[in-house]
Amino acid sequence: MARKETFITIDAAGRDQGKVFYIKEMSASQAEWWALRALMAMGRGGVEIPDNLRSMGIAAMAVEGLKAISKIPRMRPSRCLMS
């Protein structure tokens, strides 16, 4: 079966106006690898990962990942980035 694909054009005013993005659905194996890498990065960053993560499906992993990301404290921009 072919992967879903679409083009998205940004119409909102701003620096991205007129840009066109091509989006293609990931295969299940690509999605699993991406999720694993993202969760490993969060774990290295000190984000608490549930123990039963291995038994969850990919959708549940995505939900848990978003919950974990939402708990990361907001960083204040440094002066060098603001100049």
- Asked whether the beta carbons of 33 and 27 are under 8 A apart, the reply is no
Question: In the chain, which residue ranges form alpha helices assigned H by DSSP?
Answer: 28-44, 58-70, 79-82
**Confidence at residue 80, expressed as pLDDT on a 0 to 100 scale:** 55
For residue 56, the model assigns a pLDDT of: 75
What's the CA gap between 12 and 31, in Å, rounded?
A: 29
Copy the structure tokens of residue 72. Answer: 């990361």
Mean pLDDT of the chain: 81
Cβ neighbours around 6 below 10 Å, total: 9
Q: What is the mean pLDDT of residues 62-77?
A: 75
pLDDT of residue 57 exceeding 70, the answer is yes
pLDDT at 48 over 80: no
Higher-pLDDT residue of 50, 22: 22
Per-residue model confidence (pLDDT) at position 16? 93
Say how many residues make up the chain: 83
